[in-house]
């Protein structure tokens, strides 16, 4: 049974995570895809192609991507190379305190280039990427024409 995990599952947006795919046949080619939908409903995704090891695992932190949105060893590549489906859109997070980005991770057998693959993924999981740590206080700042916010850790 194929399984994809992200550790930790819930983390701050600038914290590295570890992706791991297990249970693959030895040397199988796979597509690992990350996708999310932002607050305006815009869809972003990234994909990378990998070959499983002799033990049927893929770890982007140690194995090079063979292609896709990036190539080579890049542990956070699927998060860093998210691209909008609509050209020239930017990934923005306005409500940083009350909800995370939910990044959906999917594993497909072989190479998949379509934006929406027709076949079901071999495995899926969801990573939560928060922008504000629990207990952080937000203080609005207003001084003349200057507007901003100060975030204070607990």
Q: Rounded distance, CA 78 to CA 44, Å?
A: 11
Number of H helices, E strands in the chain: 1, 11
What number is the average pLDDT over the span 43-55?
96
Cα dihedral 118/7/10/30 (nearest 10): -10
Query: Of 3.30.413.10, 2.60.40.2240, 3.40.50.1220, 3.40.720.10, which CATH number belongs to 3-152?
Result: 2.60.40.2240
Contact present, 8 and 127 (Cβ < 8 Å): no
- Say how many C-beta atoms besides its own lie within 10 A of residue 41's C-beta: 6
Average pLDDT over residues 77-99: 90
Q: What are phi and psi of 114, to 5 degrees?
A: -65, 145
User: Is the predicted pLDDT of residue 7 greater than 90, yes or no?
Assistant: yes
Half-sphere exposure of 2 (CA within 13 A, CB side): 23
pLDDT given at position 125: 97
User: Which is more confidently placed, 98 or 22?
Assistant: 22
The label of the residue with tokens 């859109």 reads 89
Per-residue pLDDT tens over the stretch 105-136: 999 999 988 777 778 999 999 999 999 988 89
For position 19, what pLDDT does the model report? 96
Label residue 66 by pLDDT band (50, 70, 90): very high
Q: What pLDDT score was predicted for residue 119?
A: 87
**Contact (CB, 8 A) for 78 and 32:** yes
């Amino acid at each position: 049974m194929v399984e994809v995990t992200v550790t930790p599952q819930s983390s701050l947006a600038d914290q590295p995570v570890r992706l791991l795919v297990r249970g693959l046949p030895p040397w199988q080619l796979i597509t690992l895809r990350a996708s999310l939908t932002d607050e305006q409903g815009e869809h972003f995704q990234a994909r990378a192609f990998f070959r499983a090891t002799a033990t049927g695992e893929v770890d982007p932190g140690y194995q090079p991507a063979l292609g896709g949105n990036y190539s080579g060893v890049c542990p956070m590549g699927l998060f860093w190379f998210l691209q909008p489906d609509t050209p020239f859109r930017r990934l923005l997070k306005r409500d940083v305190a009350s909800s995370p980005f939910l990044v959906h991770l999917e594993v497909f057998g072989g190479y998949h280039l379509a934006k929406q693959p027709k076949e079901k993924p071999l495995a899926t999981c969801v990573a939560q990427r928060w922008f504000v740590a629990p207990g952080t206080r937000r203080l609005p700042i207003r001084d003349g024409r200057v507007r901003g916010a100060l975030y204070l850790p607990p």
